[in-house]
Amino acid sequence: MYFGTKIDESTAFSLLDCYAGAGGEFLDTANKYASWLPGCQGGESELLLGRWMRERGNRQEMIVATKLGLPMPGVEAGLRTAQIEQECEKSLQRLGTDVIDLYYAHADDRKTPLEETLSAMDRLVRSGKVRQLGASNFAAWRLLQSLFTSRTGGWAEYACVQMRHSYLRPNPWMPQEFAVQVPASREMLDLCTDQGLRLLAYSPLLGGAYTRNDRPLPAAYDTPDNHARLCVLSDVARQTGFTPNQIVLAWLMQSHPATIPLTAASTVEQLRENLAAAEVRLAPEILMQLTNATHAN
Ligand SMILES: NC(=O)c1ccc[n+]([C@@H]2O[C@H](COP(=O)([O-])OP(=O)(O)OC[C@H]3O[C@@H](n4cnc5c(N)ncnc54)[C@H](OP(=O)(O)O)[C@@H]3O)[C@@H](O)[C@H]2O)c1
């Protein structure tokens, strides 16, 4: 998200080289990254990834996901046909590629008819500019409606979902804390299982809050259940010797439905710690203990 803005080019290249060297191949960005920072326009992250893939000559080895639909300077929020066509072209150019592997609606657009959005997304797939479609920050019922609309139209369907999701669960009655970000609900997890959709969990480390005093937990996570879950997490960390961040990432990958955590790192140390979570195997009883932790037990 911050490559090419908060994270300068040489640091970003070192992180990407370290990731690729460890076998990493999945890159997540968006047209808007990181337009909210002072002096930034959006597109900086895509441009940096484009330069890195060009310099390393590794576009074919990478799976590139990007998004459209949230506002940025010169671009309104929404998923109208013209926005979809124009933003896709701009992302292709910035990334220096002729195909986007996974193209997300970054947020739902309830003002545009689903038929318009989904038929325009389908044309991108049919024209070969996009391989797969994804939905981010959708309510479960709107995602299901989108799936049925695509099926009825004979169009490409959303194949995965990207939501705010971690081991701790935010109070669902405080969604205003996250603005356009939508935390994965029980309903969404159920829908993913039922429809065979992969869930990609963003902000899985809550920006470092599991281990860092300089990152307080957002208020919506301050619940009795989460305090109980933090106690179990630190017990499991002590028992296993893995860090809390590694256990959170491993739990997400091994819980049901299996999730792909999308984490970010600004130092090679953070990246190595996070990547090592891919090797962590949690015993079934530990997984159960983590999953079932509430203030009532
Ligand atoms: N679809 C959406 O609406 C949406 C929303 C948000 C994010 N995303 C995607 O998801 C990705 C990850 O989101 P996120 O950045 O919120 O994820 P995150 O993994 O919760 O937070 C990453 C931040 O946590 C800190 N960190 C990471 N590893 C650490 C470690 N081992 N020890 C201590 N601190 C650590 C770093 O902060 P410092 O850099 O400050 O040190 C890092 O930048 C983004 O890059 C973006 O691609 C999507």
* Mean pLDDT confidence for 86-97: 98
Whole-number Å distance, alpha carbon 132 to ligand 1 midpoint, is 24
Per-residue pLDDT at 143: 98
Spatial distance between the Cα atoms of 228 and 290, rounded to a whole number of angstroms: 10
pLDDT in tens, 145-170: 999 999 999 999 999 999 999 999 99
Q: Is 288 inside any structural domain?
A: no
Per-residue pLDDT at 17: 98
Indicate if the pLDDT at residue 296 is higher than 90: no
Q: Is 207 inside any structural domain?
A: yes
Q: How many domains does the chain have?
A: 1
Residues within 6 Å of ligand 1 by CB: 1, 28, 106, 136-137, 162, 181, 202-208, 211-212, 245, 262-266, 270, 273-274
Spatial distance between the Cα atoms of 179 and 287, rounded to a whole number of angstroms: 31
Q: Is 166 inside any structural domain?
A: yes
- Could you tell me the CATH number of the domain that includes residue 139? 3.20.20.100
Per-residue pLDDT at 178: 87
Per-residue pLDDT at 161: 98
Q: Is 233 inside any structural domain?
A: no
Per-residue pLDDT at 7: 97
pLDDT in tens, 92-129: 999 999 999 999 999 999 999 999 999 999 999 999 99
Q: Is 277 inside any structural domain?
A: yes
If pLDDT is split at 50, 70 and 90, which confidence band does 174 have? confident
Indicate if the pLDDT at residue 54 is higher than 80: yes
**Which ligand 1 atom sits closest to the C-alpha of 70?**
3
Indicate if the pLDDT at residue 22 is higher than 90: yes
Query: Which residue CA neighbors atom 37 of ligand 1 most closely?
Result: 207
Closest CA to 166 of 241, 66, 233: 233
pLDDT in tens, 176-196: 778 899 999 999 999 999 999
**Would strands 198-202 and 259-262 be described as parallel, antiparallel, or unpaired?**
parallel
Query: Which residue CA neighbors atom 33 of ligand 1 most closely?
Result: 208
Which residue range forms the structural domain that includes residue 128? 9-214+248-281
Closest CA to 76 of 45, 106, 99, 51: 106
125, 133 Cβ separation under 8 angstroms:
yes
Whole-number Å distance, alpha carbon 152 to ligand 1 midpoint, is 37
If pLDDT is split at 50, 70 and 90, which confidence band does 245 have? very high
Q: Is 228 inside any structural domain?
A: no
Q: Is 222 inside any structural domain?
A: no
**Which ligand 1 atom sits closest to the C-alpha of 243?**
31
**Which ligand 1 atom sits closest to the C-alpha of 181?**
3
Q: Is 238 inside any structural domain?
A: no
Per-residue pLDDT at 197: 95
Whole-number Å distance, alpha carbon 262 to ligand 1 midpoint, is 8
Indicate if the pLDDT at residue 297 is higher than 80: no
